[in-house]
Amino acid sequence: MKFLAAALFSVALAIAASIAVSAYTISFTVFDSKEKQYIYEESGSANSNGSRFCDGTACICYEFPVNTTDKYVSLNWTIANQYAVYVCVTNPDDFNEWKPIYFLEKPADATSADWAPYNPQNITHDLSKYAPLCSKGKVWIIMADSDMSGGWGGYISNSDPVVFKTSQTEPVVGAVAEYIPSTQQNQAAPETETAETVAGKLKKPSKQIDPETYKKPEYGLIGVVISAGIFAVIYIKKRSL
């Protein structure tokens, strides 16, 4: 009877541990040593006073681990200038699989003073609805330039960390609304560029950086059974002393 109680207690602990593993936070600052672990492809982005600058056809693609069962998923970063942000849940090597989620283009008649409020902005993206689609256990986020006609390329600031977070209990707060293509906005004068046209002009990903693959802990049924056995043996030994 004591053995059964110990085993059940151990199983409960193991299940609790497996749930905890499914909630985690990844945080890094651009160009620090930790960022490299999450770079899937770096294609021409530059170091601009410590920030990552994606001008013209340059872009950066990050890869983060995610479970299809993750309830809440978010990305927070401080970005500026003319940026195009994409998410991919299938094949990041295929531009057609990139879905635009945020897009900002500098108005042609905007002065520096007009544009200043956008430089930079702390942005949170709610990626929760994409988690069930991440059958490969990964999600890719791409930063690019929304207007390749010259200058003002999108950049990721080093003033704040890039924070990717998953949770089963904490809803995403303060997220921006997703980008809506101009064809769906009923506007008479669409953008000079759209997120779709930008993706078609970007550099072919060059694999300039081979990232260290991030291995998220897996805690399946086998792990639960093994842990239960270990806890049960320890409990029995202690009781026999």
Report domain extents, the chain: 24-216
Rounded CA separation 134/76 (Å): 19
Q: Which residues of the chain have pLDDT under 70?
A: 1-22, 107-118, 181-241
Phi-psi region of 205 (alpha: psi -120 to 50; beta: other; left: phi over 0): beta
> Do the Cβ atoms of 98 and 87 come closer than 8 Å?
yes
Which of 183, 178, 162 has the alpha carbon at shortest distance from 84? Answer: 178
DSSP letter at 82 equals B
What pLDDT shows up at residue 226?
33
What pLDDT shows up at residue 197?
57
Burial of 57 (0-12, 13-18, 19+ CB in 10 A): middle
What pLDDT shows up at residue 72?
97
Half-sphere exposure of 26 (CA within 13 A, CB side): 22
Which of 56, 43, 44, 136 has the alpha carbon at shortest distance from 88? Answer: 136
- Counted residue by residue, the chain has a size of 241
What pLDDT shows up at residue 95?
87
What pLDDT shows up at residue 142?
97
Question: In DSSP terms, which residues pair with 54 in a beta bridge?
Answer: 154
Cis peptide before 120 (omega within 30 of 0): yes
Q: CATH number for 24-216: choose from 2.40.33.10, 1.20.1260.10, 3.30.365.10, 2.60.120.260.
A: 2.60.120.260
Q: Which residues contact 60 (CB under 8 A, 6 or more apart)?
A: 39, 41, 42, 43, 45, 52, 54, 142, 143, 156
Span 2-48, pLDDT tens digits: 555 544 445 444 444 444 456 899 999 999 999 999 999 999 999 99
Pairing of strands 39-43, 99-103: unpaired
Rounded CA separation 203/170 (Å): 37
What pLDDT shows up at residue 182?
58
Q: Which residues contact 44 (CB under 8 A, 6 or more apart)?
A: 54, 56, 57, 58, 59, 203, 206
What pLDDT shows up at residue 148?
84
